[in-house]
């Protein structure tokens, strides 16, 4: 699991997916993030697409079972 801290904010998000193209924008390269990543997968609701050019303050990879 890859998590990232958004620059200038005290919030960590999980990076779920990368897409070259999305239906809602002509721009390319997007990241799908989830803000409530610590909840079970079926209860996550805070999904958001952000441009892949977004700067992160920190990135961490969490390895679990």
Rounded to whole angstroms, the Cα distance separating 37 from 27 reads 26
**For residue range 9-65, what is the model confidence (pLDDT) as tens digits?**
888 999 999 999 999 999 999 999 998 887 777 777 888 999 999 989 999 998 865
Evaluated on CA atoms 14, 48, 17, 41, the torsion sign reads: positive
Q: Given this model, what pLDDT does residue 39 score? A: 78
Instruction: Give the pLDDT score at 10.
Output: 84
Q: CA 8 to CA 39: how far, in whole Å? A: 24
Domain boundary assignment for the chain: 2-61
Burial of 47 (0-12, 13-18, 19+ CB in 10 A): middle
Q: Quick one: pLDDT at residue 4?
A: 93
pTM over the 0.75 mark: yes
């Amino acid at each position: 699991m890859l998590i990232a801290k958004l620059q200038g904010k005290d919030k960590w998000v999980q990076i779920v997916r990368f897409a070259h193209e999305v239906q809602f924008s002509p721009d390319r390269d997007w990241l799908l993030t989830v803000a409530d990543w610590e909840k079970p997968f079926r209860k996550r609701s805070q999904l958001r697409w952000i441009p892949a050019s977004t700067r992160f303050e920190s990135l961490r990879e969490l390895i679990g079972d």
